[in-house]
Amino acid sequence: MKFLTLAIIPLLAMTAFASPRLPEETPQQTFASAAEATEMLFQAVKSGDKERIGKILGGPTDLLSTDDEVQDDLDRGLFIQKYQEMHRIDLEADGSVMLYLGAENWPFPIPLVAQDGSWRFDAAKGRDEILFRQIGENELTAIATCLEFVAAERQHQGTPDTLNLEGSSPTSLVAKAASGSGGGDPLFLHGYYFRLLPGRKPVNGFTLIAYPAQYRSSGVMTFVVNQNGVVYEKDLGPNTSAVATSMIVFHKDSTWRAAEE
């Protein structure tokens, strides 16, 4: 089973999932009501039947795959837990129906639509929402990593190579890349690359840049932080990678704004 955990807001997540791509001739399952569709989805997830889930959800699945069976099982368990805790369906302004899960009312990303008197999950619409949520999660993680790095720098009051390079936390991984142990290559973490700018800086100062590995797929905004601890963001556009990798020093102007944590 392929699942993808997507953040709704910090510390909250919900689960969307993918299943094996079905043969072209296999029609998507439809239902007499939206309520029946959500209940059948729950039963399919509970059973772990990949083919059954695929027929219910339909549509492309590549965006939802994690290739991590352990995480997939955890995410499936979370979906089951939240569905049993509380679930409801609401009619949206566009006529679609959304499934909400748990006491937190987490919206399931794939809406239900009516067609010819039957209901089905609209995976095409859900795909855009899933991508939007994944980008949001990656950007929040990038901001948090920048702030963690600043905190570690302040604690050690030195250059990156004075940091504890042991471990696999975001801070230690960025420190490894900054110290040159990564061969000078930027560090990839949760859809973003991190690197220290090599330009002139004050004593014990630094400038860390985080930019999306795939613009509009893994992220949109580019983030920059220095020893002052304020994370700035800017959309560098389709040429984000080229602009970010060629940056030597950070010149803040009115196009950069403070990022919201």
**What domains are there in the chain, each with its CATH number?**
2-121 (no CATH), 135-258 (3.30.540)
Residue 109 burial (10 A CB sphere; 0-12, 13-18, 19+):
buried
Q: What is the pLDDT along the chain (261 residues), one digit of tens a residue?
A: 333 344 333 223 333 444 444 445 468 999 999 999 999 999 999 998 878 888 898 865 444 445 667 767 888 888 999 999 999 999 999 999 999 999 999 999 999 999 999 999 998 888 888 889 889 999 999 999 999 988 888 877 655 544 444 455 656 656 655 554 444 578 888 899 999 898 877 777 889 999 999 999 999 999 999 999 999 999 999 999 999 999 999 999 999 999 987
Q: How many residues does the chain have?
A: 261
pTM score of the predicted model? 0.73
* Cα 190 to Cα 52: distance, rounded to the nearest angstrom: 31
Which of 136, 14, 138, 130 lies closest to 64 in space, CA to CA? 130
Chain-centre distance for alpha carbon 195: 20
What residues have CB less than 8 Å from 207, skipping those under 6 apart? 196, 197, 199, 201, 224, 225, 226, 249, 250
At residue 68, the pLDDT reads 65
At residue 169, the pLDDT reads 60
